[in-house]
Amino acid sequence: MLILDDVHALGPGSKVTAFLGRLARYLPAGCSLVLASREPVVGKAMKLRGEMAVADLGAGDLALDAAEVADSTPGTAAAS
């Protein structure tokens, strides 16, 4: 698994962004590429998204409710 953060800072037309598109296209089976960005990833990712090879996670997907926070924090109980 390769995880890259702040991908939004690269810009959609950069050479690095183009490289990441090629990298994503030719990853070996069993490998994952995770791109973290504050903005939607555009360019080559759009084609991969259409092929269901991309999963988009937004703030709502990553937010925890009170019970999940309590479960992940030792010594606390979920609010009723």
- Are 56 and 25 in contact, with CB atoms under 8 Å apart? no
pLDDT at residue 68 tops 60: yes
- List, for residues 8-42, the tens digit of each pLDDT value: 888 777 888 888 878 888 888 888 888 888 877 76
Query: For the chain, how many residues are written?
Result: 80
pLDDT at residue 44 tops 60: no
DSSP category for residue 73: S
- List, for residues 50-63, the tens digit of each pLDDT value: 655 667 777 788 88
pLDDT at residue 78 tops 60: no
Three-state DSSP state, 50: helix
Cβ atoms within 10 Å of 37's Cβ, excluding its own: 15
- Are 46 and 52 in contact, with CB atoms under 8 Å apart? no
